[in-house]
Structure 1
Amino acid sequence: DLRAFDPGAIVAWRGRRDILTDPLRDRDPSALIGAILAPVVTIGDKLRTLQLAVQMHRQTIDELLTGPDRTTLAELQALGFSQQMIDRFFRPFFGGIFLDRSLQTSAKCFRFNFKMMSDGQTVVPNSGMGAIADQLAAELVAAGRVRLQTKAVALINRDGGVSGVRLADGSELQSDAVVLATPAPETARLGDLPVPEGSLGSSCVWLATRQPLYRGKKLLLNAEENAFVNTLAPMSAVAPGYAPPGWHLYAAAILGVPELDDSTLIARVMVDLHRIFANEAAATTALTNARILRVDRIPFAQFPQPPGLHPNLPDNRTTRRGLYLAGELTEASSINAAMLSGERCAEAIQQDVAR
């Protein structure tokens, strides 16, 4: 049961909230008119964005990912986008995807994500992101078992290969194939394997209000140069299952993991949100009475993806018989890439076992 965000975004800048949208996919006449009239970026940049969407729609993913690489910032500049467009739209929007507002991420990541969002929809499961894991686990449970809260402390090496894992309680699990589907630092620890270096963190403050802060299902971008909150997502507007009746759930995303206690971090978030909605009495009241539900801090949310990184990522097969890798570290740092890696890892194991 997937629910989709509306195309485009709302750009919060200097007390304004302007809509930028995709005229090829947005069916809301008011959003289209608002996007045409929005002064936050120039008409030339809007036409350039439309032209890029049409161009990428005609190309395959393989075509977009071939050839030389460069930073996303260099790519945008080469495509002719103004500094205004880069700062007010691309930095908060793609900076939120890459966890890097400097846009030093590989342009191949930008091309892939731009095409995916231009060709399709951005969705979340109505029952929460855990529904993805539940669906994946269902067949595993039917065929065998899934053990949770069980730490693997070491691999079992035998005859030059890997034959199982040793658990924290000292017990061992034997297997024909061991798959490391862990974050890169844990993969390096367990498998003593080269993995992408570095980490990019993110934080999120979840808040609930009685009244909506704004209408619609578009992501809100904070385009201020000194933004603390990078984006605000109207989660229950997109997926009603995220909140009980009479409540509205929002996710305020922060890039990095600030060294602040929860109360200070929440205060900084609320300052940004009050500034964004300063001209809206109803939204200001809703924020004043908002309930803070949780603060999430994720030190390793992604690994950095500079130009030239992806051809050097490890393969699903390792040099050690019986040991395989699955996860974003073999493809690219995203949920989509992690799922693709899992599929390719399963295919590799099936091929090897059949030999």
Structure 2
Amino acid sequence: MASLKTTVADVSASLDDRSREVFRRIVETYLDSGDPLGSRSLSRLLPMSLSPASVRNVMSDLEDLGLIYAPHVSAGRLPTQAGLRFFVDAFMQIGDLSDGERDEIERHVRPTSADQPMEAMLTEASRMLSGLSRGAGLVISSKNDPILKHVEFIRLEPTKALAVLVGEHNQIENRIIDLPAGVTASQLTEAANFLNANLAGQTMRELRSQIENLKTQVASELDTLSQDLVERGLAVWSGEVAEKQPARLIVRGRANLLEGLAGSDDIDRLRLLFDDLERKESLIEILDLAESGPGVRIFIGSENKLFSLSGSSLIVAPYRDGEDRIVGAVGVIGPTRLNYSRIVPMVDYTAQLMARLARGQR
């Protein structure tokens, strides 16, 4: 089978009106039903008068360009992966969301109360994308950055303590830290009081920016042991642990991907997809895909290594916080015959709403 090695403009220029129409009908039939389209059926669908024999000649030219192929001898034609990419780039017209679709997205991607955890909103967004697309909805949130409400140090043994850090929504992070030699119970209390007085109500990112400024104040207000302890306590939030905290991946609607599977090969490919999603590295890879260009990105089949074995498509868009940092991504996973023109604006609008939440806007 020939491969599509030339540019979209080159291929587009090589197609006359008949070839473009034949190709468009083959792709649209595939996206609608997944079925191959034969020359006899095509000749009846075309707006111009073409005999089945003439249609077969056009099909042969499209095959030579690597745009379509015959899945079986004497069968109709299906688009290749390269053909789908060409169709998306050269033919597809992105639709607009209806008022009802916008309302449905907004209803799910907004907090129901002032203290609703972000996790619940992420889950709702994923479920909503699954329902509207009939694929699997995917939402990724990068490192959590909770506002700190309370800090406490609990001695475990002479040289170790448990740092208990409570966020504004009562999230609790417990981390074991090393203690300086000779720390007393009163110094543990003194250090915790200092942190609570100076740092409560701020995020981990904000704590990082204040560490250097606080060192001078710590040195003047606390003795050397307490100063060391405070800095170790800060490091739990602002340094190594915060950087290693994993992103969250929420996928809803996996059962949708089972619909229309023809046989064991399809199920095996789907199992590979689920295995990919379970791997920790997939979080970083999906975020990398989202970050690699502006707006909504479309990856078809083996165009990305994460889903190459399962042959699935991914439509994904990043969302940013108030400082224009990418803090997550939303998307839809499905078979290569997704309704791209309908799903792209869905993903785009959802990403816009998630960005508003990330910026603290309601």
Tell me the TM-score range normalised by the shorter chain: under 0.3
TM-score (norm 2): 0.25
Higher relative contact order at CA 8 Å, sep ≥6: structure 1 or structure 2? 1
Which structure's residues are more often strand, by fraction? 1
TM-score (norm 1): 0.26
Which structure's residues are more often helix, by fraction? 2
